[in-house]
Structure 1
Amino acid sequence: MIELDGRRLQRCEEGHLYMKEKLHFMEAYGCNLDALYDELTEWSSEEEIRIYNSEYMDERIKTVFLDAVNENKDLIIVLTNGTAMR
C-alpha cells in the first residue's frame, strides 16, 4: 500500500514531483497528466493507493486517478472518504 497526502496534490507541478517520488516512477516520468495516466494503467501487479485529504487535490489529478482505476484492474484507489474504487 502506498499513501499520498492530497494536500501535496493541490498544484499539478508540485504534485507530479511528489507522486514521482512516492509512487517510484522512473526518472523519465514526464510530470504531466498523460504520463501519470500511462504509469497508473501500466502497473501489472495489484497495488493500493490511499489518498488522504483528497478534497484538497487538483481535480485534474483526481480525474486521472479515477480514469486509471477504471482501466487497470490491478489498481485500487482509496480516497479520504473511505470509498474504495476498483
Structure 2
Amino acid sequence: MRALFSFIERSENSRMYADEEVQFVILDGAQMTTKEEAHAHLKQQFNFPDYYGNNLDALWDLLSTWSDPLYVRLINSEALYQSLGSYGVQLISVFTDALQENSKIRFEISHEADFFENVIL
C-alpha cells in the first residue's frame, strides 16, 4: 500500500489537495463486466450508502454532491469498454461531468503500464 500512496503523492492532481485529507479510490474496469457488477464495484469502492440506486443517475447524484477531496483512478479501462460498450462510455462521462460540477473530485484513466511502472518502487 505504501507504494501506491507514494505514487499518488507525486501525482500532479494531488497537489490540488495540499492541506486536506484525500480519499483515494481505485476502480478496476476488469471487475465491471456487467452493469450490475459495475455498480456493485462502485458501491464497494466508494462505500456508497445502502440507498445507492445502482444506476448512472444515482452515481451522478452522489458524485456531484461529494463534499470531501476525492481522487479516483480507473485501471483496466479497456476491459470496461469491451464488457460494457456504450454503457461504459456513459459511466466514464458521469465522472468527467462530475469534474465540471464538483471541484473536490479528480478523475484519471490510467494506462496500466504507466500505472504499475509508477506504483512499484
Q: TM-score range by the shorter chain?
A: 0.7 to 0.9
| Larger strand share, 1 or 2 | 1
Gaps of 5+ in 2: 1-23, 81-87, 115-121
Between the aligned residues of both structures, percent identity stands at 35
Q: Deviations over 1:12-45 (max 9, x none)?
A: 2210011101101000000000000111111111
Query: What is the TM-score of this pair, normalised by structure 1?
Result: 0.85
Say which SS state the counterpart of residue 26 (structure 2) adopts: strand
Letter in 1 for 2:30: R
2:65 maps to 1:36 = no
RMSD: 1.4
The partner residue of 2:91 within 61, 73, 82 is 61
Structure showing greater radius of gyration is 2
1:31 alignment partner, SS class: coil
Distance 1:70 1:9, change over 3 A: farther
Q: Does the alignment pair 1:27 with 2:57?
A: no
